[in-house]
Amino acid sequence: MLINIPFVNKKQPKETIGVPEDSTPEHIAIIMDGNGRWARNRGLPRIAGHKEGVSSIVKVVKAAVKCKVKILTLYAFSTENWKRPKSEVEFILRLPKQFLDVYLPELISNNVRIQVIGDMELLPDYTRDAVQYAMDRTRHNDGLQLNFALNYGSRHEILKAVKEMLADINDTKISVEELDEQQFSKYLYTKDMPDPDLMIRTGGEQRLSNFLLWQSAYSEFWYTDVLWPDFSEREFLLALDDYRQRNRRYGGLSK
**Known catalytic residues?**
33, 81
Q: Is 50 annotated as a binding residue?
A: yes
State whether residue 223 is helix, strand or coil: strand
Question: Over the Cα atoms of the chain, what is R_g?
Answer: 19
Q: Binding residue per annotation — 35?
A: yes
37 among the known binding-site residues? yes
Cα end-to-end distance, the chain, whole Å: 25
Question: CB–CB of 59/32 below 8 Å?
Answer: no
> In angstroms, rounded to a whole number, what is the distance separating the alpha carbons of residues 119 and 189?
9
Instruction: Give the C-alpha separation, 102 to 104, whole Å.
Output: 6
Q: Enter the DSSP assignment of 230.
A: G
Q: With contact defined as beta carbons under 8 Å apart, do 13 and 186 qualify?
A: no
79 in a labelled binding site: yes
Give the integer Cα–Cα distance in Å for 51 and 49: 5
Residue type, 147: N
- Is 154 within any annotated ligand binding site? no
- The response to whether 190 counts as a known ligand-binding position is no
Ligand-binding annotation for 228, yes or no, is no
DSSP 8-state code for residue 12: -
H or E stretch covering 71:
strand 71-78
- 153 labelled binding-site residue: no
- Say how far apart CA 225 and CA 227 lie, in whole Å: 6
207 is known to lie in a ligand binding site: yes
* C-alpha torsion sign, points 148, 100, 34, 40: negative
Flag whether 244 is marked binding.
no
214 annotated to a ligand binding site: no
155 known member of a binding site: no
38 annotated ligand binder:
yes
Instruction: Give the residue ranges of the annotated binding site.
Output: 33-38, 46, 50, 78-80, 82, 84, 201, 207-209, 220
Positions at the binding site for Mg(2+): 33, 220
Binding-site residue ranges for substrate: 34-38, 46, 50, 78-80, 82, 84, 201, 207-209
